Amino acid sequence: MSTESLKMMAVDFGASSGRAVIGYFDGERISIQEVHRFDNEPVQLGDRLHWDFLRLFHELKRGMTKAKQQLGRTPASIAVDTWGVDYGLVDPKGRLVSNPYHYRDLRTEQPMREALKRIPEKELYARTGIQSSSINTVYQLFADEELRLAQNDRGLRMLFMPDLFHYYLSGTMASEYTIASTSGMLDAVRRDWSTDILDGLSIPSSLLNPIIMPGTPVGSVRPDICAELSLEAMPVIAAAGHDTAAAVTSVPAGDAPYVFISSGTWSLMGIELTEPILTERSRQLLFSNEGGTEGNIRMLKNIMGLWLLQECRRTWAMEGTELSFAELTEMAQHAPRNGSYVDAGDAVFLPPGNMPQRIREYCRSTGQAVPESRPEIVRCILESLAFKYRQTLDEIEELTGKRIEQIHMVGGGIQNRLLCRLTANVTGRTVVAGPVEATSIGNLMMQAKAHGEVGGLADIREVVRRSFPPEIYMPEDAAEWEERYRGYEQRLVLQKTEDS
């Protein structure tokens, strides 16, 4: 790596952990190095569930210190990305009103029902393109007690989580487009706040900040933080605040139509479009339209993902058997194909706790052979995910009218090579897997763009292709897997449609 490389810092906050990485970009290739990793555990305080923002900001500063120690100097810039929908409220003096609520806090369910009486769900979707869920920012704000108490205070401001970190780093308030698009308050066509929704739900527009596009510098690290951490002046860049948007930025795709799967605990599967699809059919199929890093749209569906396998592993560990993910996958390689499947989008699998038993009960209740052994259960999970991807692919092709030839899979889930191979076989499409560290890479490349060291999305993806050669999976046994998918569709997809 050249001594003239651009050395940047990305901080990625996930829903259970966070990490700080350094990116080295020499104009042709990028490499990354993790310098700090930490837990992100929510805190139950009375009857409310919060994020521990103060602890997370402390870990952010520790990461900045370690980055300087590793480099021997201050990084060229810093950017933060996080999960979607959550926010903090800041008072007129710049103080945090309270620790931000966790999206799993239960305070929103009844207010959501009240909000939908004011603005019907179909109308909300037609305006924002976001599926209605109690976790959405719009319902959180509608339920927020602190906001109701201070509604007449025009100085109160709302900042999404990455914007909140950027504010306390730089002193600048702004709402980055990709994270704002998860809120259920952004007009998907105009790419700006929907005043009709805000007025209809009595959410004061004075709460909100101007929308800025990904890759926008928002200032420099505050002098007091620089003094505290012995840093030089350091630009803060709103690179791509939403972690999925950052991950999709680093998909090494070309010009041919493709879908992406950001694979991990959740699987985010979708397609990039120039304009949103806001039809009643897309709402019924549970697709959301979120913002991309060039003002484009990521029309996607949220699928349960490897959560099913993670929960099985945790249950078996509690029973006294510790198994690595590699060991579980190896077990599944040799398990019989007993034709038992689950719907990886069914809410019955959302809560934690005894996932193996819930999978058995689901198969029993749907008239299938019950997977009893651990290898059978793991095989059931991985094949079910691949079938869910095929179902979602069919829906994307229906909505867009496009034939998709490639599936790009990124994220930690691609380390499960059996899942990648099953996805290619079941969909009958070429699967291009990589990079694993998609979110951090996307964050860093948007910083490089802000520095003027790389052009648009096509240039970024060319850098990623050079830096992280993907693994290619070609479909096999097409006739067999097509027949098995039709059985899955008949038993789980069509039956569920008839029941609803």
Catalytic residue ranges:
243
Return the number of other C-beta atoms located less than 10 Å from residue 91's C-beta: 14
Bridge partners for 291 per DSSP: 297
User: Residue 475: which of 432, 426, 415, 406 has the closest Cα?
Assistant: 426
> Could you identify the residue written with the tokens 């791509």?
240
Contact 12, 19 (CB under 8 A): yes
Token couple for 372? 């009893």
List Cα–Cα distances, 260 to 244, 335, 389, 392, in angstroms: 11, 28, 10, 11
d(CA 174, CA 178): 12
CB 265 within 8 A of CB 415: no
**Helical packing angle, 478-488 and 374-400, nearest 10°:** 90
Peptide bond into 435 cis (omega under 30): yes
CA distances from 488 to 38, 484, 485 (A): 40, 6, 5
Contact 470/434 with Cβ under 8 angstroms? yes
- Which CA distances in Å does 142 have to 118, 138, 176? 11, 6, 21
DSSP class of 214: T
Q: Are 240 and 246 in contact (CB under 8 A)?
A: yes
**Spatial distance between the Cα atoms of 9 and 426, rounded to a whole number of angstroms:** 39
CA atoms within 13 A on the CB side of 454: 25
CA 29 vs CA 170, 255, 312: distances in Å: 29, 21, 38
The tokens for 99 are: 């620790």
Residue 381 structure tokens: 């999970």
Helix (H), strand (E) at residue 146? helix 145-149
Residues in the chain: 500
For residue 323, give both structure tokens: 């198994």
How many other C-beta atoms are found inside a 10 Å radius of the C-beta of residue 384?
Answer: 26
Instruction: Tell me which H or E stretch contains 8.
Output: strand 6-13
Decide the pairing of beta strands 157-160 and 175-176: unpaired
Determine how many CB atoms are found less than 10 A away from the CB of residue 187: 17
Give the number of C-alpha atoms closer than 13 A to the C-alpha of residue 215, restricted to the C-beta side: 19
- What token pair was written down for 75? 């990084």
